[in-house]
Amino acid sequence: MRVRRISSILGGTAALAFALSACGTADVGGGGNDSGDGDGGGETITIGVKYDQPGLGLLKGDAPVGFDVDVATYIAGELGYEPEQIEWAEAASANRESFLQQGTVDMVIATYSITDERRQVVDFAGPYYVAQQDILVKGDNEDIQGPEDLEGKVLCSASGSRSAHNIVDEMEIDAELREAGNYSECLSLLGNGAVDAVTTDNTILAGFAAQNPGTYRMVNNPFGEERYGVGLPAGSTERCEEVNAAIVKMWEEGVALDALKKAFGETDFAYEESTPEVDACK
């Protein structure tokens, strides 16, 4: 198992018109060595995951751990790759599309919600899990109990995520938006009082709350739906079908539930236990 930190230096090409500005660290690679012919078992496969989300994708020592990492490892295995053939790359919310477009990674499994806008530039398999959106506040903040209480408050979300815009644009709640490079930065802003709340998927917030008991409180008033997909380069219909088959098998065998229990079993987060229905590949 190999770990790479990859920065994304975005060009101004038309192919990146929908990609948001990137963030990351060093060592730009040329993507995985997966041939994409559906046979799997190439030299390596490069998978983008989060490195800063407890319970989902968190870099510990020299390797990431969490539910998304377990899902990625299982899917890679079904495609013919052993764990030591996986190269991990840090995929921040803002660079997931560009990494897939540029061939920096072969797939992205990083709390990557399936949306029509994103489907214009990348393909998705899945979903492999269906989350909901929620809100995180300081542990002693009892004033915010739901989205409606964010009126006039400062709300943080990571660059490249649409969570805060769901509240401001879709729910028409007049909150002031503050974007950060990632959710770890949002947590720092929340801790020092620069923002009043952080919003994103309940899976992500549960991990941060569990890592900081008493410091932060998840409102536990979920809303909306976030369908986590496996991001693939555009035109990956055959690979999409293979990944969908792996996702279905992962749930049928109980592997997905075992991974959820391992990630969130010691928290009070009520994770979804029902098998998601995967979309047809196009």
Ordered per-residue pLDDT tens for the chain, 282 residues: 455 444 333 333 333 232 323 333 223 233 444 444 444 556 999 999 999 999 999 999 999 999 999 999 999 999 999 999 999 999 988 899 999 999 999 999 999 999 999 999 999 999 999 999 999 999 999 999 999 999 999 999 888 788 888 898 889 999 999 989 888 899 999 999 999 999 989 998 988 888 888 899 989 899 988 999 999 999 999 999 999 999 999 999 999 999 999 998 777 788 889 999 999 998
Residue 93: its pLDDT value, please?
86
2-130+227-264 CATH: 3.40.190.10
The gap from C-alpha 248 to its chain's centroid, in whole angstroms, comes to 19
Can you tell me the distance from the alpha carbon of 103 to that of 50, in angstroms, rounded to the nearest whole number?
A: 18
Task: Assess contact for 152 and 175: CB atoms under 8 A.
Answer: yes
Residue 23: its pLDDT value, please?
31
The gap from C-alpha 129 to its chain's centroid, in whole angstroms, comes to 11
Residues 6+ apart with CB under 8 A from 269: 202, 203, 206, 210, 218
Residue 41: its pLDDT value, please?
53
Residue 57: its pLDDT value, please?
96
Tell which CATH architecture fits domain 132-224.
3-Layer(aba) Sandwich (3.40)
Residue 184: its pLDDT value, please?
87
Residue 248: its pLDDT value, please?
98
Residue 36: its pLDDT value, please?
42
Domain coordinates in residue numbering, the chain: 2-130+227-264, 132-224
Check for a shared fold between 2-130+227-264 and 132-224: yes
